[in-house]
Amino acid sequence: MALGGSTAFDDVFLAMAHARLGDHEQAELRLTHAILGMERDYPGHRELVCFCEEARSILAEGTEAPSATH
């Protein structure tokens, strides 16, 4: 990635990883890059759309207040 840049696929999986690690700022940045790359390079790509939706879901989980049962 450092030499040739990243693809929307790289960015969406990095977004999910960052979100799971608790780095929501970096996750949101990567998801934004993924969505822009998808719209530019892979418009209508069903699997990539699903991956972006999953990344959004993971990010939303991390921004919710923790439950009292934990």
First to last CA, the chain: 38
- Can you give the pLDDT at residue 62? 77
Average pLDDT, consecutive stretches of 10 residues, N- to C-terminus, the chain (70 residues): 76 96 96 96 96 95 58
- Can you give the pLDDT at residue 69? 47
Give the position of tokens 């934990």.
70
Helix, strand, coil percentages in the chain from 3-state DSSP, rounded to 5: 70, 0, 30
- Can you give the pLDDT at residue 70? 46
Share of the chain above pLDDT 90, in %: 77
